[in-house]
Structure 1
Amino acid sequence: MRTRPDRALAARLTLAAALVVGLASGCGPGDAPAAAPPGPAPSTTAPTSVTPTPTSTTPRSQEEALAGRPTTPAGAATTAPADIGFVDTELYELPGGERIARSPSAGPSRLDNNLATGFARTPLGAVVAGINIAGRADGSLGEPIYRPTIERQVIGDGQADLLRRVHRDGRPDVPATGEQTDGTGVGSHGFTLHSYTDDEATISYLLVATRGSQHKYAVYRLTVRWVDGDWKLLAPPNGDFGAVISTPTSIDGFQPFERRGIPA
């Protein structure tokens, strides 16, 4: 796998680009274990609890995640509510080609001025809010998208650092219709809800890069808080998404967004 400069790690989809390199070379992070089966198909009835997150480790940086060198054990998952409404989701495409989740009932209810806002104050609303805000806080989508997203929908001490990192490495313009910034299929395919209250939730979601029949995996762990009538994303430590990325040792336990399940 090629070595990428540290500054390129600031943009979220640099991870996807590095996953693509792994697909092309036949090496890289997030290879599902040979015995790992596909994720379960969503049920039309809610389960009694959400399956705990797969065993994973938190890398010191995105570079370690991409190189498959995990270091610190991730925190244990907690029991999550049962009424999340698993099947009420669909995937839509961001400029640049990444496919992320939304829900007719849980949001975003508004997609205007390059912002995705209006999320339900529910467990599913928290899940799709975290994924949409993190997805749009990516430099590869262009400054007209990442800047208002970070300025208006990211909170916490790392917010200013995140904006500086993304602006340093991001592009000034929005990708044209049909342009794929990563050169392969990248999408958010599943999630785990670790904890939820009406004021704060913690989630993990599974990012999958696909080329042909090959798949590479990475997991983002995010916290959202209810502020001023909507969910906001808590900035990662020091504004670095690398601090909240891990390489899963299994894809079991992630609830898929679509009926076809998680690629295996």
Structure 2
Amino acid sequence: MARQRFRHTARRRFTSPLVAIAAGLALLLLAALMAMHGGEGSQPERTTPDQHQVTAMPSADHTSGSPQQTDVELRWPADLSWVTVAGLALPVSVTAGPRSLQDGRARGFAQTPAGAVLAGLHLLVRTSPQVGPHVWEPTLRQQVVGPDVTAYADAVARGYAVAREQLQVPYGDSLTPIYASIVGIRVDTYHPHAASMRLLIEAPDGEGSVARAATVVQVSWSGADWHLVAPPQGDWSTVRTLVGPVLVRGYAPLPSR
């Protein structure tokens, strides 16, 4: 894949830091669902050594609200631990990946359903403006593929520039964390060279309740690792839908920490 050139656009002004962050946010919820505060951790916490099983769901139009079960199964590795990236807790596995977390990156995923899902989780978060350009720039150059890579890279760079101005942080610093959680997953299709999944994200709605949205995330096996497929037009909102309480049960929860 050709190396992408990142263009940092001129400053633009918005009336609210919340709107500014959400305008370029790679993660998934509407602007009203994101609240901004400071801090980021990175220490893993061990889970119990049980093996977790998730039943996959079939491919369909991403706007469909009625999942159907298939014979594809995703078995979570027994060796899960957790890291926090941009405020989100993400599972990691020695056997399924990522095997390297050097420099804030996530590389080395197994060519298995579990490896594909872990790649989707990590690469999505690590291409958000919140992690800072020292993470999202090399991740976008080396671990994102598809016809919309350039549009996606531009969108992330714009989102970071707008948020950095609003928050008054030096260029290169990470931003305040994402106040949301990835709480469920539905694997639509898996093949050793391609996988498609839907991630269920939950966040405060600003009115004392919780809102949920699901985004279709695809990964492609290239070389010796999974790569994130850039969203259409570089915009996750094109593959994002709100999820009502009844449809939540169609998503298998992530393993508990």
Normalising by structure 2, what TM-score? Answer: 0.71
CA RMSD after TM alignment? 3.4
The gaps in structure 1 that reach 5 residues or longer are 22-42, 59-72
Cα distance in 2, alignment partners of residues 12 and 217 from structure 1: 16
Residue of structure 2 in register with 1:198 after alignment? 192
Residue of structure 2 in register with 1:79 after alignment? 70
Q: Does 1:123 align with 2:109?
A: no
Q: What secondary structure does 1:163 align onto? A: helix
Q: Is the 8 A contact 2:29 2:201 kept in 1?
A: no
Q: Does 1:181 align with 2:177?
A: yes
Cα deviation 1:125-168 (Å, max 9, x = unaligned): 00010111011111122111111111111001100111011111
Q: Is the 8 A contact 2:28 2:237 kept in 1?
A: no
Cα distance in 2, alignment partners of residues 246 and 196 from structure 1: 21
Structure ranking higher on relative contact order (CA contacts 8 Å, 6+ apart): 1
Change (3 A) 1:77 1:131: farther
Letter in 2 for 1:258: P
Cα deviation 1:180-222 (Å, max 9, x = unaligned): 434x4x2212211111111111111111225898422111111
Change (3 A) 1:259 1:7: closer
Change (3 A) 1:221 1:45: closer
Change (3 A) 1:17 1:112: farther
Which of 33, 50, 54 aligns to 1:19? It is 33
Change (3 A) 1:91 1:153: same
Cα distance in 2, alignment partners of residues 248 and 134 from structure 1: 19
Displacement of 1:16: 6.9
Q: Is the 8 A contact 1:217 1:248 kept in 2?
A: yes
Change (3 A) 1:78 1:111: same
Cα distance in 2, alignment partners of residues 115 and 107 from structure 1: 12
Q: What secondary structure does 1:117 align onto? A: coil
Cα deviation 1:231-252 (Å, max 9, x = unaligned): 0011111111111211112211
Q: Quick one: percent identity of the two aligned structures?
A: 26
Letter in 1 for 2:147: D
Residue of structure 1 in register with 2:83 after alignment? 92
Change (3 A) 1:167 1:98: same
Letter in 2 for 1:237: P
Cα deviation 1:10-56 (Å, max 9, x = unaligned): 322483752146xxxxxxxxxxxxxxxxxxxxx85747x43569x99
Which of 132, 135, 145 aligns to 2:135? It is 145
Cα distance in 1, alignment partners of residues 28 and 138 from structure 2: 20
The gaps in structure 2 that reach 5 residues or longer are 1-14, 36-49, 165-170
Q: Is the 8 A contact 1:79 1:195 kept in 2?
A: no
Q: Within 5 Å, which residues of 2 pair with 1:21-40? A: none
